[in-house]
A and B are shown apart, each in its own frame.
Chain A
Amino acid sequence: MRMYDLPDASGHFGPYGGVFVSETLIHALDQLKEAYARYQADPEFLAEFQYELKHYVGRPSPLYHARRWSEHFGGAQVYLKREDLNHTGAHKINNVIGQALLARRKGKPRVIAETGAGQHGVAAATIAARYGMECVVYMGAQDIRRQAQNVYRMKLLGATVVPVESGSKTLKDALNEAMRDWVTNVENTFYIIGTVAGPHPYPMMVRDFQSVIGREAREQMLEMAGRHPDAVLACVGGGSNAIGIFYPYIPDESVRLIGIEAAGYGLESGKHAATLCTGKAGVLHGNRTYLLQDENGQIIETHSISAGLDYPGVGPEHAWLKDSGRAEYVAVTDDEALQAFHHLCRLEGIIPALESSHALAYAAKIAPRMRKDQILLVNLSGRGDKDMHTVAEKSGITF
């Protein structure tokens, strides 16, 4: 594969990405672009980022050979990249630290974030507490009801959680509202976007901060198994954990990259969040990408058992990786994800996030058909503590 150097200077990944925002936001994005260009190569910035990842997050996260689960399949060996062991319980914190360090250098005392399941919101609230910043988190009113525990965590950490009552009252509306806050308070506020979406430079910047996952995994894999995996699997909502682990593997063409979307009740039910599998290109939240939309270009409501995958768009780099054929995208249902969730609990003593359970479910599908000397690397992007209520409810249990 020729050298991969996307996005281009204007933030495009082929036809995707770009800067689709109102004129009122252009200046702020230009400033962010400049700041990021300066600090991404600044040894002091990078050293501080590394320090925080090591001492505050607990990186490197382990690579773990899931032997019993692999034996259960009788096929490929499954390795898990343990992002669930990070401080705050998911990969989200990697990116939040990077952006918060930028906010500090730009002298912004206030950070804002959007959140769906609450993992990104918790990470933002955590870092804001650590750095003494004001933090406002926008969260759909619907998600606030579904994720009461994370709402309380954010409040414990000192953040203000603002319920968003517009539109479908979910993640996409929270993102709209955060953008509205940013455009109004741009002078003192830094918007920490949680995924590889939004206008340029966010998709690139978030990818760069998250690619620590793939860089570590690549080295750890060579150390433990002496070779690259046959395929790398990650769940895709907005796509930040997937880009994080895919990106360093893009030049290794022998390694299949597989993104797993949420098929919800099934693709044919219409109630899912499988944007790349079933959507078509359009413009939302500042970039051109695949979207779930009706024939009139209105964004439609999505469904997934996992709030973190419940998003009608997807990062523009995934759109490009799909079209270029470098990555493939599939979808698994709520039920398949739940089954993988329970398997991992029982066979490995690991309670995975429902988001990550989608990637596990696809590994469970393909591993049995593979040889025993083949390797699947799955990004275990978060832990499942936050999902206890959802899973219990599915099993008919109330606390």
Chain B
Amino acid sequence: MSRIAATFEKLKREGRRALIPFITAGDPDPALAIPLMHALVAGGADVIELGVPFSDPMADGPVIQRSSERALKHGVSLKSVIGYVAEFRKLNGTTPVVLFGYANPIEALGAERFADLAKVADADGVLVVDYPPEEAHKLVALLDARALDTVFLLSPTTDDARLRRVAALGRGYLYYVSLKGVTGAANIDLADVAARIARIRSFTALPIGVGFGIRDADTAKRIAAVADAVVIGSRLVQEIENSRREQVTSNVTAFLSGVRQAMDTLAREEVA
């Protein structure tokens, strides 16, 4: 069983939902990359989505764009990000890491070489924002062969035919983008999300994570009531952006702990 599947199994047994933070690797600078990953785990992360910086992050809002620019200013590359994973694994053998980014850095490295390096570094999954299923077959085959999960996005406009296709190709979990727009955009419509998740579940047994527009512990808790995982990106990256360097890891842990507690309160309420 993959590390991602094992994580979701364990959470299910405990009646808890996964907390999946996103950060851009190497933001604010490479020396903080690995400490920040550990800080996420300390704050209650179950899976880490580790963003690979790209010069043209077309699907991201201003917060994540700026994080990418900060990392790129320090020369952070896909290879450096894979290196951070290997380094992180020296102290953490249990928290799954999903490499999250855009197609071109992977194509520049070579998809096969990328898959090899990600495997050697002991990463767990890959999400390529601009590889929809139509263009992802080659990468999925390469990652499958190395027991690495390919995570796909779903959106409010994904119709049933596509749901079926994405469900067939997706591994690990599916990531439901809860609103139209870019990362960090406005607020989330909970009733709509609940209805969409129910629909998605009729096509797949994979866990479903929800992201985009989750900005506080209360929203996270309410999303956790209908989904298997809550993804928090822009809000967390904002925390990094607004923190003094020496406080960035503790601030990240503190922010995430608040979210974690709210989500776990939900678990206890459900049991009660």
Q: Which residues of A contact B (CB under 8 A)?
A: 10, 18-24, 26-28, 166-167, 172-173, 176, 179-180, 183-184, 186-187, 281-286, 288, 291, 293, 295-300
Contacts and interface: CB of A to CB of B under 8 A. Distances in A.
Given A19-B135, A180-B61, A282-B108, A167 B55 contact: yes
Nearest to B162: A26
Question: Top 4 closest A-B pairs, CB basis?
Answer: A297-B108, A27-B157, A297-B105, A296-B77
B159 interface: yes
B105 A20 contact: no
B187 interface: no
A269 B181 CA distance: 39
Contact of A21 (B55, B65, B132): B132
Given A23-B132, A167-B69, A298 B105 contact: yes
Given A24-B177, A173-B56, A183-B181, 6 more contacts: A21-B59, A167-B55, A167-B56, A179-B58, A184-B180, A298-B105
Interface string B153-190: 11101110010001000000000010011100100000
Given A23-B152, A27-B157, A180-B61, A291 B104 contact: yes
Contacts of B87: none
Interface string B79-114: 100000000000000000000001111111100000
Contact of A24 (B77, B157, B162): B157
B182 A180 contact: yes
Interface centre among B65, B108, B131, B159 (most CB of A within 10 A): B108
Contacts of A24: 59, 153, 155, 157, 177, 180-181
Contacts of A179: 58-59
A297 B134 contact: no
A173 B79 CA distance: 25
Interface of A is mostly: mixed
A283 B139 CA distance: 14
Interface string B53-76: 011111111100100010010000
A283 B58 contact: no
Given A172-B56, A176-B58, A26 B78 contact: no
B78 A296 contact: yes
B233 to A, nearest CB: 14
A300 B55 CA distance: 8
A26 B177 CA distance: 13
Contacts of B181: 24, 180, 183-184
Contact of A283 (B65, B79, B107, B154): B107
B262 to A, nearest CB: 27
Contacts of B197: none
B154 A183 contact: no
B160 to A, nearest CB: 12
Given A26-B155, A296-B78, A297-B107, A183 B59 contact: yes
Contacts of B65: 166-167
B164 to A, nearest CB: 14
Interface residues on B, range: 35 or more
A232 B159 CA distance: 45
A376 B109 CA distance: 41
B157 A26 contact: yes
Contacts of B108: 282, 293, 295-297
B153 A184 contact: no
B153 A22 contact: yes
B216 interface: no
B130 A183 contact: no
B202 to A, nearest CB: 18
B155 A297 contact: no
A41 to B, nearest CB: 24
B32 interface: no
B11 interface: no
Contact of B103 (A28, A166, A283, A296): A283
A176 B60 CA distance: 9
Contacts of B56: 167, 172-173, 176, 284-285, 299
Contacts of B61: 180
Contacts of A283: 102-104, 107, 130
* Most central of A21, A282, A295, A298 by chain B CB within 10 Å: A298
B153 A23 contact: yes
B129 interface: yes
B210 to A, nearest CB: 14
Nearest to B156: A24
Contacts of B129: 22
Contacts of A10: 134
B109 A186 contact: no
Contact of A282 (B107, B152, B159): B107
A20 B103 contact: yes
28 contacts: A19-B132, A19-B134, A20-B103, A21-B132, A22-B130, A22-B132, A22-B177, A23-B154, A26-B155, A26-B162, A166-B65, A167-B65, A172-B56, A179-B58, A180-B181, A183-B180, A183-B181, A187-B180, A282-B104, A282-B108, A283-B103, A285-B56, A296-B105, A297-B54, A297-B109, A298-B77, A299-B55, A299-B104
Nearest to B175: A23
A41 B18 CA distance: 51
B159 A18 contact: no
A293 B56 CA distance: 11
A286 B102 CA distance: 11
A286 B108 CA distance: 16
A284 B59 CA distance: 12
A284 B104 contact: yes
